[in-house]
Structure 1
Amino acid sequence: MTTTDTTATTADPVLEVADLTVQFPSEEGLVQAVRGVNYELRRGEVLGIVGESGSGKSVTSLAVMGLLAANARVSGSVRFGDTELLGADDKKLSKVRGKNIAMVFQDPMTSLNPVYTIGDQIAETILAHNDISKDAARERAVELLELVRIPNPRQRVKAYPHELSGGMRQRVVIAIAMANEPDVIIADEPTTALDVTVQAQILEALRTAQQETGAAMVLITHDLGVIAGQADRVLVMYAGKVVESGTADQVFYTPRMPYTLGLLGSLPRLDVKADRLNPISGSPPSVVNMPPGCPFSPRCPLAEDVCEAEEPALEPGSDPAHEAACHFAHRVEGHEPADFFRPRTEDPLPAGTNEGEATT
């Protein structure tokens, strides 16, 4: 795990998210996409936000950027320094986006314009926030491509997005994000569509972007393996809510929430010998008209009657910095995923299915 610099932990937050709630009306009812998320981010710090699809990770960050659909009902507070971003008009947000807070999206092809060259798109971002010449902006674009390790950058600035590989396009998007040396970089699932080798290159490019700009970073992913060695602190989200929060070491080595333990059991690790993975059975719940109780209880091996009646609050354990939303967090401490979650190969076979058919 990375070690947070002491200056990052003592400095004032560059970004503060307080009681952030996002709801969307639908035909089925009210979609509670984000439910009371809180976090602070300091300069130079990396915050990892993890959870399955639909847990509210991306919606949280889109709310921070002011990029949600018009029908979204957003409440709470998002402060960048002394500036309140929630409820700000587009003119005010446009001065912050790209300059102070930059975002790297999951699919670079939706971020890059196919009819403009790579160099033009990087230069456009620079010119939007700086009073410099086009030639100077173009030269800065070459420097940025070199920083994210794109070969032959002086030739690549003339290329169009379709002429680059997926990994190179993602590095271009990272170059755009770091173009104006922002205070915060939000990376939303930046490695999802990439193979393991290219994934490592993209994570290295993100580290370069952070080191060059000194920015704080929010790294969003469904894969705990991606943030291993990257994040200083981790938020684990489930059904729109933070269910565990702590340092990377605390979340990886001493989890206090069954869901976190289940995620770790689904992750291959080099430091732990295991014959089989131990995935979480079932699917995430619908966040439409949610019933009372803990949303994870239908999938939780520790669930009891109180779990179905009352949703637990996010509370600290012996270390105030390590919080978990579980009635039985004390039972989780010190256990391995295999203690609660069975390997998938041990699930009973469907009726009428022989072992050979089940292994195809």
Structure 2
Amino acid sequence: MAVSLGPAALVAAHLGQGLALLSTELRVQWANEGFLQLTQLDLPRAIGQGFFGLLVRAGVDQEEAQSLKDQIHLAKPVAVDIPVAVNSQQTAWWALEVSPVLDSEGLVEQYVVSVRDITSKKKEELALVKLTEDLYRQTRDLQQFTYIVSHNLRAPVANALGLSNLLTRLKKEDAGFDPLLSQVRASVFQLDTIIKDVNLILSIRDNQDTVEKEPVRLGDVCQQVISSLQESLQNCGGTIEVQIPKDYTLPAKKAYLYSIVYNLLSNAIKYRSKERALQVSIQCSATPAGGTLFNFSDNGSGMDLNKVREDVFTLYKRFHRNIEGRGIGLFLVKTHVESLGGTIDIDSELNVGTTFTLHLD
């Protein structure tokens, strides 16, 4: 039922801010021009409409709307910033406030709704958050590179220098010459490997904001990786279950996707359990927001995340000392995922297995 407008409501009708009155059943009784513009309705069509139906039709997620509804039913003021899907590529933000109007007995007789478009402000906030995250990541990377220089590079350089000094005291025909020369070569090879790792990582970081994406069939990439590691899988008796919709395509850089799947699968093979045959599951599905949810699970040796969670994706961190490795694979996986605009999470249990969950845009 419509309500008559008093002087205050007549003023409110012309405010730039969206305002509305709701009944106790949360149906629109009155709305000003600002509210009607946001919901893209005229007043006759808005009157009597359920408020949350209007929100969902405007682009508010169903779960977000239900959460707001649950809070309003507590009969207390509610203030939230809520995302609104304008289309598949664009999201707006509304600052929404709902306040109950109580009668003389303390019972709710109406709700006052205030809504403002804060998209520009929110974009600035999100840009500031991204800048902060980028600065944090760069600082973290700088710390890791400093660690590389002070630890990983120092050892092979010191070894090569020390062995070279010993070589100058020997003649080629001396029995110890060839073994020392072999150790010098090993130190130089180790040094070269580390330098290549750093160059690769810096190259990825430098191009992180300029990655050119193309449509990539995820199933094809997974099959290529499986084929390349088929011999290793057969040798360990491993099996892989791939559940990817036929012709599933996502925007990405194929080389990065290949590296992600290759490193995850090669790690699963390398760190498999000695107590059971390796089983790997690869699944993907589209998210409601239009992205991709990618799950990679194995029943391998797993990790105690209570002890190592902070270091899982850190460069040159290794958690299985009895197995040869460089500690760069998961760092590359995370770097590639972030370069594609995604995120990665890990869930692992010692002697049970590990699951990596990737959210890709």
Superposition TM-score tier, normalisation by shorter sequence: under 0.3
Normalising by structure 2, what TM-score? 0.20
* Greater helix content: 2
